[in-house]
Amino acid sequence: MNELAPRARRALVGLIVLGIAFIAAPFAFQMFDRAPQGADMLANFKPFMTAQRLDGFQQDIATIDKAVNEVDTVGAKQLGPLSKATPSYTPLSKQWPEINTTMTDLLDQVQADRTNYDAVAGLPSFRLFPWFFVVPGALVAILAALALTRRISVQGVRAVVIVIGLGLAVAPLAFGMFWRAPKGGEMMKTFETIETAQNVARIQGYFSTMATGQGAIRLEVIPALEHSGWSPAQIADNLPAMTTLNRDWVHILNDMTPMIGAMSDGVPQYQAISALPPFPLFPWFFLAPGVLAAAIAGFGLRRVPTPVPVQGAS
C-alpha cells in the first residue's frame, strides 16, 4: 500500500482538527442546554406575537384607561373624594398613569419587534442547532481519520468532505440566516429590558393593582353610585367605559394572564439565549468552517499525477 503524500497527510490531520472543533463548539457554548430554552421561549411567545393579539392587548389597556378616567372624573363628581367613598379603588387611581405609560410602551416595543420575532421563528428549530455542528464535525473527523489510516479511499473522503463543506456553506443562504440572524439580534436587544426578573415582577404588580381596582369598581364604586341615587341605567349612561370594563373584564383577564405567565417563564429562557454568541455571527459559524473544510479537501487531497520518468538515450 502506498504511503500518503505529506500534503495529503497534513490535509487529513487538518480536517480531523476542524471536525473536532466543530463537535466541541456546542459543548463550549452549552448549546444542548441553552438552545432548547430558546425554542421554548419562541414557542411560549408565539400565541401573542400576532398583530391581532397585540392590538387586542392595546385595546385592553385603552379600555381600562377610559374606565379609570371616568371613575376619577364622573364618579368623583357624584361621590366626592374617592379615597373615602371607595378606598380599595384608590391604589389603581394613583398608579394608573405609571401603569398606563409602562404597559403602552412595552406593547409598542413588542409590536415593533414582531417582524424580528417572525424572522427568528422562521429559522430551523433551536433544538436542532447543536446537531448542525456535531453531525458534520463527526463525519468530517471520522472520515479523515479513516483515510489517514488508509482504511478508506482518500479520494472518496475528498468528495464527501467537499459535499459536507459546501452544504455547511450553503446552509445559511438556504435558511435565510444572513437576514434572519441580524433580526434575531435586534429582537434580543428589545427583550433585554423586558425579560428581566425586576421588570416582570413590576408588571405582575401592575396586574395585581388592576385586578384589585376592577374588583373595587364592581364591589365599591358601583354600589356607592347606586347608594347615591343613580339607577343601573344611569350608571351605564354616565360611565359607559366603566360599564364596558366590567363587562369585558373576564376577557381581559383571560387575555393578559397567559402573556404575563409567558414573560415570567421567559426570563431564564432569555438569559440562556443571551449567553450564546450574538445572533449575527451564526451564519458565519457555518459558512467559514464549511468553506475551510471544502478548501482543505479540495486542494489538500487532490490527486497529483505521478510523473513518468523519461529515459535518456543510451
Task: Specify the pLDDT at position 313.
Answer: 46
Give the distance from CA 165 to its chain's centroid.
Answer: 28
Q: What is the radius of gyration, based on Cα positions, of the chain?
A: 32
Query: What one-character DSSP code corresponds to residue 265?
Result: H
| pTM across the whole model | 0.80
Whole-angstrom distance, CA of residue 249 vs CA of residue 216? 13
Residue 85's nearest CA partner among 224, 199, 185 is: 224
User: Which grid coordinates belong to 213?
Assistant: 381596582
Residue 47's nearest CA partner among 262, 264, 272, 265 is: 262
- Among residues of the chain, what percentage have pLDDT more than 70? 96
Conformation bin of residue 176: beta by default, left when phi > 0, alpha when psi is -120 to 50:
left
Q: What is the per-residue pLDDT across 83-124, written as a single tens digit (0 to 9) for each?
A: 788 899 999 999 999 999 999 999 999 999 999 999 999 989
Q: What is the per-residue pLDDT across 236-281, written as a single tens digit (0 to 9) for each?
A: 999 999 999 999 999 999 988 999 999 999 999 999 999 999 999 9
- Domain boundaries of the chain, sorted by first residue: 6-300
Q: What is the per-residue pLDDT across 57-73, written as a single tens digit (0 to 9) for each?
A: 999 999 999 999 999 99
Q: What is the per-residue pLDDT across 35-59, written as a single tens digit (0 to 9) for each?
A: 999 999 999 999 999 989 999 999 9
Task: Specify the pLDDT at position 108.
Answer: 93
Contact 161, 143 (CB under 8 A): yes
Mean pLDDT, rounded, of the chain: 91
Q: What is the per-residue pLDDT across 277-299, written as a single tens digit (0 to 9) for each?
A: 999 999 999 999 999 999 999 99
End-to-end Cα, the chain, rounded Å? 33
Burial class (CB in 10 A: 0-12, 13-18, 19+), 229: exposed
- pLDDT-derived band at 305 (thresholds 50, 70, 90) equals low
Q: How many helices (H) and strands (E) does the chain have?
A: 15, 0
**pLDDT of 314 over the 50 cut:** no
